[in-house]
Amino acid sequence: MPGFELWSDAERKHVNDVLETGILMRYGFDGPRKGIWKAKELEQEICNSFGSKHAQLVSSGTAALTTALSALGIGYGDEVIMPSFTFVASFEAILSVGAVPVMVDVDDTLTLDPAAVKAAITPKTKCVMPVHMCGSMADMDALQAICKEHKLLLLEDACQAIGGTYKGKKLGTIGDAGTFSFDFVKTITCAEGGVVMTNNEDTYIKCDGYSDHGHDHKGNDRGAEPHPFIGYNFRISELHAAVGLAQIKRLPEFLAIQKKNHAALKNILATIPEISFRRIPDAEGDSCTFLNWFLPTTEIMQAVVAEMKAQGIFGGNFYWFRHNWHYINVWDHLKHSITLNALSPELKEKVIFHANKDFSASDAIISRNVSTAISLTWSEEQIKEKGEKMVAVIKKVLSEMAVHA
């Protein structure tokens, strides 16, 4: 899955270019950097590769979401609809701009259920934020129609779906803005980093300033640059951008391997009639970072997970229903709104309310799901061995549970 699995001399060369100049900051120091502008070059490569008019690199995927939300004017009193299955950064970013994260159920795509989105809209809703989890996409036609009907912004959290597409368009470039994460375990990595992509020039200009203390970046004297608005320090470094510049040029290579390995493992698991797979709105657009599969009941899946762990073969598999990073039922810190700095009483009350709603529809899906990470380094023999061991465990559990039924 992650680009770090296939580290090469290309990444080393770009990093060494920066080290030889000694200029690690992306802005200023025009003379000493000797024409080396890795962040600028990577932003252009992102636009070229994904078809976005503008790209603003930042320090992380979380920073990208925060920057995008701010640039879109989302803040105090606004509600942002997001899925109950995501990464914690999604609600962290919403809270960081003073808005209300409104979690709603996912469907068998493992992304936002359009019906749940429609039901959650209130006069305070300003944005719908689909999260393209585990490499695949939300039903973007349905979500775009909802946003158009209700005059809402559409912000794509595509941090886990780099290289995925929906009906010919790259994920992250379909909404008013979109974000990628380039952290260490993403499809392409900068070690740490992220990007906001948008086709709206005004949104881009705001992202550019907001991510660097509000600098307008006009002129050649950084110290004399005006600050049209308050911003923050979400800058990426030249070293991180250098790694990403090598990785983005290898993305087609990574995606081809992922898709081949994904198909091979899926073919093995598909021999079990009781296994079903995630519904993908556009199967051709799956980036194939994970193989997402279901068993008929929560009881069966939990027994399979326990047996795989007992046999020492669960590594690389994720049971999100009991995973601290990704699912609402274990986010106690959100459910109780535990923060180091005090939220306004109004915001805290809303956070607690929305985090403690009934998510039984999501539970019924996530509790039956396991996601298997697809490695770029697997050999055909390793895929066969992994798949056969998983199949053996699943058949064993199904047989034992049938006897006791």
Best CA proximity match to 178, nearest among 191, 192, 165: 165
Q: 10 Å Cβ neighbour count for 191?
A: 16
Which segments within 267-340 are labelled E, that is strand? Answer: 276-277, 290-294, 317-318
Q: For the chain, state the CA radius of gyration.
A: 22
Beta bridge partners of 330: none
Beta bridge partners of 237: 25
> SS3 for 90?
helix
Written as six digits, the tokens of 47 are 């636009």
**Max Cα-Cα span within the chain:** 77
| Active-site residue identified among 38, 126, 186, 266 | 186
186 flagged as catalytic: yes
Question: Tokens 């129609």 label which residue?
Answer: 145
Question: Tokens 């991510």 label which residue?
Answer: 211
Query: Is the CB of residue 74 less than 8 Å from the CB of residue 101?
Result: no
- The H or E element spanning position 305 is helix 298-310
- Helix 251-269 / helix 380-404 crossing angle, nearest 10 deg: 40
Q: What share of the chain is helix, strand, coil (3-state, %, to 5)?
A: 45, 15, 40
- The H or E element spanning position 77 is none
Residue 263's Cβ-side half-sphere holds a number of Cα atoms within 13 Å equal to: 10
Per-residue three-class SS string for 23-58:
CCECCCCCCCCCCCCHHHHHHHHHHHHHCCCEEEEE
Q: How far apart are CA 396 and CA 304, in angstroms?
A: 9
Annotated active-site positions, please? Answer: 186
